[in-house]
Amino acid sequence: RGLGSSARSAREDSWLKSLFVRKVDPRKDAHSNLLAKRETSNLYKLQFHNVKPECLEAYNKLCQEVLPKIHEEKHYPCALVGTWNTWYGEQDQAVHLWRYEGGYPALNEVMSKLRQNKEFTEFRKERGNMLLSRKNQLLLEFSFWNEPVPRDGPNIYELRSYQLRPGTMIEWGNYWARAIRFRQDSNEAVGGFFSQIGQLYMVHHLWAYKDLQTREDIRNAAWHKPGWDELVYYTVPLIQEMESRIMIPLKISPLQ
């Protein structure tokens, strides 16, 4: 009787568990292949440097001396997309966005060559003495976003960063492929990216505005366009955390 009761209990537990197990269809491809631009193999690196407050001016001067040399040197298959100081958000912070034209092989080539560059080695040592902390992410660009290209200024830039719930990147991409058309009228959309290495399920949207009031006006205008409110309604539940940085470009930034 004890054995029969035990077997019956096991069957009941198995049946109860089956009620809560969701069957998942097998994925046919990685989300990076489904969401990224197919016509390019660009890889992006986003760097966040938290600078000692008393060193920010010297840090900016050092970057403005060294970073353009890497950007302009044809020997390196990479380009500086933009470089900024955070104005509103985390203070005394520098943000750099690099593009590696050729993906991971290009990244490896650049890193290998820079290790042999004595000027860059000294730059890193001097820069390290000015930092409190730093982190970076490797990113791909969404296929439906604009290609980030140099632009004239003056502009302020907003980097909106979203930590998504794991497993929701495809859903996010499907909604934003439609949502981006609501935000093209004033040429404010600069680029959209999602993380591959570093903090995962991260999305970054980069926008350019003339000033803070223009930003407010453009964002408010989107709510008067039929369909924008619905897309926001469906994307908000996908987000775990979000952050906004308002950034000012350095003089050397191709995005001004």
- Dmax (CA) of the chain: 84
Q: Note the pLDDT of residue 136.
A: 97
Beta bridge partners of 94: 49, 85
Contacts of 249-253 with C-beta under 8 Å, sequence gap 24+, read 249/82, 249/83, 249/84, 249/153, 249/155, 249/157, 250/60, 250/63, 250/64, 250/83, 250/84, 250/85, 251/64, 252/63, 252/64, 252/67, 252/68, 252/71, 252/80, 252/83, 253/80, 253/82, 253/83, 253/84
Amino acid making up residue 164: L
Span of 31-45, 48-62, 92-106, 153-167 with lowest mean pLDDT: 31-45
pLDDT in tens, 156-195: 999 999 999 999 999 999 999 999 999 988 899 999 999 9
pLDDT in tens, 74-116: 889 999 999 999 999 999 999 999 999 989 999 999 999 999 9
Read off the pLDDT band of 34 (50, 70, 90): low
d(CA 39, CA 29): 17
Q: Is the pLDDT reported for residue 25 higher than 60?
A: no
Span of 39-43, 90-94, 234-238 with lowest mean pLDDT: 39-43
d(CA 126, CA 208): 31
Ranges of each domain in the chain: 38-249
pLDDT in tens, 6-24: 555 555 555 444 444 444 4
Span of 62-66, 72-76, 83-87, 203-207 with lowest mean pLDDT: 72-76
Mean pLDDT of the region 47-51: 98
Q: Looking at the domain 38-249, which fold is it?
A: Alpha-Beta Plaits (3.30.70)
